[in-house]
Amino acid sequence: MTSAQGPLLSRAGYDRASHRRTDADWLAQAWTGSRVLVISPKSATPVEPDAAGVSRLAFRDPSSVDDIAPRRFLGLVGEVPYFTATVERDGDDDWPTLRDLGPTIDDLDAGLLTSAIALEQWHQRHTHCPLCGTPTVESNSGWTRTCPADGSEHYPRTDPAVIMLIHDGADLALLGRGVQWGAGRFSTLAGFVEPGESLEAAVAREVFEEVGIVVRDVRYVASQPWPFPASLMLGFSARLDGDPTIDLDPVEMAEAGWFTRAEVEQAAEWVDTGTEPDPDVRIQGVSPKLSISRYLIDLWLAGELPA
């Protein structure tokens, strides 16, 4: 059951051991006995099949990437240190991305890869000091950047976004199709939290802006990191308060509708085979399994979402 396991990218399975990030002697020693997760600048990574044929991350021996800098310390599994480094893609092997791997890799691989990508995406986008404009350098084993001109320290960003399943307290859920989604594909509504705004207020505002619906009973459900590039998705449920008539924002939403459990259940089983959607079916498919949107939808289908 999906709900017992939690959102797929929220799994961790290792100790971040953050107190070691400033310990240069310990880090140098740890590197020699470590396993190294290499990722490309576009966040692809080499894999290898395990005994059952399932893709596992193909960690490298530190001696094979010794000339790679910077080395970023991810954490410990038992006594074994894990680092990540960014390399250009090499060899003929298939290098899948987290989106490809997320549904099948185990908790440890999912946690390490999500953190490695989030760090790399942040470093790529935050190269200069926001105070004085000087190029910054990596520090604390990749977990901060420091300005050599004024000594200021800068931390990785995490941008909060709310994502919410709106229901009527009975058999209907409100799902929408963003303008970038293909015909027949629906998901929960979502949006970024604005400065100075509470999470609950962001849920209510986004729902009203996108579909003109008023909600109440906003309840937190679960969160999932989404490192493309720096989101933390905060999942909620909320209940319709009053008029269910949809007033769509055409800039963000192509369409939205109230759907029954039976309709959503059927759409959740849909597999994209490239065929044209059936014009008689209102909802053809829902969000992919890796997303917290799908996690919320599956909870609602199972009757496990807070009322």
The answer to whether the CB of 225 falls within 8 A of the CB of 114 is yes
Stretch that binds Zn ion, among 49-57, 126-134, 260-268, 299-307 (CB under 5 A): 126-134
Q: Does position 149 bind Zn ion by CB under 5 A? A: yes
Query: Which among 92-100, 123-131, 159-167, 287-295 is the span making contact with Zn ion, rule CB under 5 A?
Result: 123-131
Which amino acid, one-letter code, is at 202?
A
Query: Distance between CA atoms of 7 and 108, rounded to whole angstroms?
Result: 14
- Candidate list 24, 80, 131, 214; residue touching Zn ion; CB under 5 A: 131
CA 35 to chain centre: 24
Distance of closest approach, residue 152 Cβ to Zn ion, in angstroms: 5
**Residues contacting residue 24 through CB under 8 Å, at least 6 positions apart:** none
Contact with Zn ion (CB under 5 A) among 48, 94, 150, 247:
150
Backbone angles phi, psi at 39, to 5 degrees: -130, 155
For residue 129, state whether it binds Zn ion (rule: CB under 5 A): yes
Minimum CB separation of residue 148 from Zn ion in Å reads 8
Contact residue for Zn ion among 54, 132, 170, 214 (CB under 5 A): 132
160-199: b (≥16 Cβ within 10 Å) or e: ebbbbbbbeeeebbbbbbbeebeebbbbbbbbebeeeeee
Q: How many residues bind Zn ion (CB under 5 A)?
A: 7
- Answer positive or negative: Cα dihedral of 232, 39, 26, 156: negative
In angstroms, what is the minimal distance from the CB of 190 to Zn ion? 34
Least Cβ distance, residue 158 to Zn ion (angstroms): 22
Asked if 137 interacts with Zn ion (CB under 5 A), we say no
The whole-angstrom separation of Cα 24 and Cα 99 is: 34
Among 44, 110, 147, 207, binds Zn ion (CB under 5 A): 147
Chain residues that interact with Zn ion, rule: CB under 5 A:
129, 131-132, 134, 147, 149-150
